[in-house]
Structure 1
Amino acid sequence: MKAAAEVAGLYLEVRKSIEDQVKGFAAPTSDKLLPDLLPQERHVFTLVLDLNETLVYSDWTRDRGWRTFKRPGAEAFLEHLAQFYEIVIYTDQLSFIVDPILEKLDQKGCIRYRLTREATQYIHGKHFKDLSKLNRDPAHVMFLSAHAKETCLQPENAVPVKPWKLESEDTMLLDMLPFLEYVARYHPADVRPVLASYDGHDIPSEFLVRTKDYQQKMRKLKSQNPFFRSSRSS
């Protein structure tokens, strides 16, 4: 009986050790992945961007090894939105792969922080981005990715875009600019209901339709309002 108890105790010790190791591997390196926002920046929204098939495409061949290509408009996309957002890269790739890519992609320093695989949650064999660990108000966070809803634990913050696989005529990043700039300027109290209203739609196309509808309503309102008519006549 004593021997059996010792074996059982040893088994439980080994099991706990393995579980602790798995937990350490599976959980993000910190519950606070980003430092606090400065007081004067607390109104700024955070735009979290995935990397592969979103901003770049990485391709491997036996002859050439790994090669990485920039998505059309990626640099202009980053440079423009850095005026409005705190930009963060959040990818399940390893840092030694990510760093050289971003050194070339972001030569103007538009990206404020880089989060790589060690900042993800490992669940059932897959790495997930956990926006709750960002140390940011979730109402002010958007996660833009070609695989946003499948790889993020907070799909309500997801901004899905079409995956890029070297299509030369791709304009998705530039097409997203009007919507993203609008959100930053309009500054909703909670971005999640805004994103929910676009669920199932192509965001750039739907945003254009809504913008045109709004402009038509405003023109009609002005034409029916005596104040606007008298202002034009004077």
Structure 2
Amino acid sequence: MSFLAIDRLFCGCPRFGRKFINTSRALTSGLWRTMIEQSDETAESGGKHRTELGYSTCFGFHLHRCNASLVYVARRRYSTYEKTSTQILSKLFPQTSTEPNDEESRERRKREEEEETREMERAWKRMKLGIGLVGIGGILFSFWAIYYFGKPSLDDQGNEVIDEFSELPLTQQYMARTWKSVNHFQRFIQEPSSQKLLPEPLQAPYVQPAYTLVLEIKDVLIHPDWTYETGWRFKKRPGVDVFLRECAKYFEIVVYTAEQGITVFPLLDALDPNGFIMYRLVRDSTHFVGGHHVKNLDNLNRDLKRVVVVDWDKNSTKFHPSNCFSIPRWTGNDNDTTLYDLASFLSVLGTSEIDDVREVLQYYNQFSDSISQFRENQRKLSEQMQADELDRNSKSKPIVKNWTRGFIKH
């Protein structure tokens, strides 16, 4: 059997390979033991013959030296293997230990246990030292933060500015100002950067669209993709140009996203070269609540009766679910037609002159797929209109009436 066949046998049958290796180890250890015993006997008999014959030949002398060397190497390897195996088994299973229970062995075990104990004590001391240093660093940082954020403000001449905490004791002043700074930083993270995210509606002679359309950019208009070869790339959703052009006829288009502005602004410049998107709102315009960046429509400075939000994440619009029109999240497939259907829906909504769009949106939000339901309603409406048209055409007027009316006119 060739080495390639043996290798295939071991790779195909790992269980057989393990059994073969274990058996080989057992046979090898037994072979070493037998060789050592035979070598010992040979060495003893060689010693007797050496005494009797006195090394009669040079060949016998070299044979004895080779035999003795073999005995030494074999005994050393076997004793090392046996010692290592015995130590491992003794540590894992102390009850099966075969080491001699003499005074020297007990002293050795005692020294090893003491060394392990001392090493554990040193590790514990190092850990306590590290914890202490971290604690001292935290205390020093806290004192520095209280001093830095709690000191009174200074004017241009270097004089202290009187505030609402100036009459308190010095310690309370610093603590109160520090707490105010912490609350201000927390509100800066959680709340929008402005209470009015959009300017006032346009006045005549400028034209202000009747409705406001709020769009999410990620996985609605574009899809981000990352690979080792290209890094980050952004894929344009099919129908974006048609969608923006049609919606701009009836809506004031606003992109409102939780992404950073440094990423969004260049993408929108490339996505919308015609300027259909009127305003851009990014992460600093959102509320951070419960681990989610939420779009607060109360800060849009627009009438919520005429605001439509298109998004796939309901957590981002949980403050105003009645204004949201949910669509499936786009994952980058090229045969997607959602934006075409969405443009049809918004065009119908914009031309209907509905006073409160939330009633229509709440109706469609009760379905799992709002777009599919809109397509089904449009199909039924088209069939009904065709049926009405056929019904009107089938009701022809009487010939006599037509003839009489024409005769009277002449």
Query: Do the structures match in fold with TM over 0.5?
Result: yes
Match of 1:17 among 165, 181, 188: 181
Flag the 1:166–1:219 CA change in 2: closer, same or farther, 3 A: closer
Q: Is the 8 A contact 1:222 1:229 kept in 2?
A: no
Alignment of 1:81-230 (within 5 A): 81-147=247-313, 149-152=314-317, 153-201=319-367, 202-218=369-385, 229-230=395-396
Query: What do the CA deviations read for 1:161-192 (whole angstroms, capped 9, x no partner)?
Result: 11111112111111212111100000211001
Work out the CA distance in 2 between the residues paired with 1:219 and 1:64.
Answer: 52
Work out the CA distance in 1 between the residues paired with 2:324 and 2:245.
Answer: 21
Q: Secondary structure at the match of 1:33?
A: coil
- State the shift of 1:60 in Å: 2.9
Alignment of 1:14-53 (within 5 A): 14-39=178-203, 41=207, 44-53=210-219
- State the shift of 1:214 in Å: 3.0
RMSD: 2.6
TM-score (norm 2): 0.51
Greater shift, 196-205 or 88-97, is seen at: 196-205
Work out the CA distance in 2 between the residues paired with 1:34 and 1:9.
Answer: 38
Query: What do the CA deviations read for 1:2-36 (whole angstroms, capped 9, x no partner)?
Result: xxx86666444322211111112221121111112
TM-score (norm 1): 0.86
If asked which structure has higher relative contact order (CA below 8 Å, sep 6+), I would say: 1
Flag the 1:52–1:213 CA change in 2: closer, same or farther, 3 A: same
Q: Secondary structure at the match of 1:198?
A: helix
Q: Output the amino acid matched with 1:35.
A: P
- Which structure is higher in helix share? 2
Query: What do the CA deviations read for 1:88-129 (whole angstroms, capped 9, x no partner)?
Result: 000111111101100110011110010111111111332111
- State the shift of 1:61 in Å: 3.4
- Which structure is higher in strand share? 1
Query: What do the CA deviations read for 1:11-70 (whole angstroms, capped 9, x no partner)?
Result: 443222111111122211211111122245456111110010110111233443321111
Work out the CA distance in 1 between the residues paired with 2:397 and 2:198.
Answer: 51
> % of aligned pairs identical?
32
Q: Output the amino acid matched with 1:206.
A: Q
Residue 226 (structure 2) aligns with: 60
- State the shift of 1:71 in Å: 1.1
Greater shift, 192-201 or 89-98, is seen at: 192-201
Q: Is the 8 A contact 1:32 1:135 kept in 2?
A: yes
Based on CA coordinates, which of the two structures has the bigger radius of gyration?
A: 2
Alignment of 1:75-86 (within 5 A): 75-86=241-252
Greater shift, 176-185 or 196-205, is seen at: 196-205
Work out the CA distance in 1 between the residues paired with 2:269 and 2:295.
Answer: 22
